[in-house]
């Protein structure tokens, strides 16, 4: 396992050691020692088609850390620091996750998260440190000019849910301390 700290403190990429032969491959997709102090309570699986843009989502009263990866296809994954007291407040990290690179991205609590599907279809799985809590779900606009996220749209027209299309701008968002 290779561990890489990214530009924003706390965000990490794990690249597993893959054992492959003519029959296929095997790799560890999680080990509790990678993230000491965090316990995962829920796993989610999302299947989306090309152009689906989900996010930027977060929970405030029940913040979730997320360990995310792509099982099939490819996505551009984004984490935005929304901790008001952080020196990197309002900054983001973006990374392509795919079935080919098998990378896992750790996004600690205090971040808004989203992804854009780059392949025809993508299966996206993630572990959460807290349960999904209806009524505690928030979203920040994917195209907020203050964030200036450089989504790799090329010829992709983002397909948004109504909630994401009507999300708040960062200046109106409920932030973490």
pLDDT tens, residue by residue, 93-133: 999 999 999 999 999 999 999 999 999 999 999 999 999 99
Which residue is associated with the tokens 């992709």? 156
Predicted confidence at residue 96, as pLDDT, reads 98
pTM of the model: 0.96
Distance CA 76, CA 70 (A): 10
Predicted confidence at residue 24, as pLDDT, reads 94
Report percent pLDDT > 90 for the chain: 100
Predicted confidence at residue 42, as pLDDT, reads 97
CA–CA distance from 34 to each of 28, 62, 159 (Å)? Answer: 11, 22, 34
- pLDDT tier at 88, thresholds 50, 70, 90: very high
H helices within the chain, ranges in order? 162-165
CATH class name, domain 2-24+37-172: mainly beta
H helices within 14-172, ranges in order? 162-165
pLDDT, mean over the chain: 97
3-state secondary structure 33-53: HHCCCCCCCEEEEEEEECCEE
Annotated catalytic residue 113? no
Distance CA 58, CA 48 (A): 19
Distance CA 107, CA 81 (A): 10
Predicted confidence at residue 59, as pLDDT, reads 98
User: Which member of 62, 113, 126, 138 is catalytic?
Assistant: 126
3-class secondary-structure state, position 172: helix
- pLDDT tier at 17, thresholds 50, 70, 90: very high
Average pLDDT for residues 20-34, to the nearest whole number? 95
Annotated catalytic residue 76? no
Predicted confidence at residue 11, as pLDDT, reads 98
Please confirm whether the linkage preceding 134 is cis (ω < 30° from 0).
no
Instruction: Summarize pLDDT for 50-87 with one digit per residue, the tens.
Output: 999 999 999 999 999 999 999 999 999 999 999 999 99
User: Which member of 57, 58, 76, 92 is catalytic?
Assistant: 57
């Amino acid at each position: 396992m290779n561990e890489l700290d990214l530009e924003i403190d706390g965000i990490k990429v794990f690249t597993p050691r893959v054992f492959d032969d003519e029959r296929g491959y095997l790799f560890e997709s999680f080990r509790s020692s990678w993230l000491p102090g965090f316990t995962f309570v829920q796993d989610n699986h999302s299947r989306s088609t090309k152009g689906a843009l989900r996010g930027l989502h977060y929970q405030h009263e029940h913040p979730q850390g997320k360990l995310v990866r792509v099982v099939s296809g490819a996505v551009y994954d984004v984490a935005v620091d929304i901790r008001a007291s952080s020196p990197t407040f309002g900054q983001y990290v973006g990374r392509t996750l795919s079935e080919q690179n098998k990378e896992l991205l750790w996004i600690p609590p205090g971040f808004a998260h989203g992804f854009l599907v780059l392949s025809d279809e993508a299966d996206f799985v993630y572990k959460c440190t807290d349960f999904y809590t209806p009524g505690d779900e928030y979203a920040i606009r994917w195209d907020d000019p203050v964030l200036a996220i450089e989504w790799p749209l090329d010829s992709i027209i983002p397909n948004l849910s109504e909630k994401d299309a009507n999300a708040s701008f960062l200046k109106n968002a409920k932030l973490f301390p």
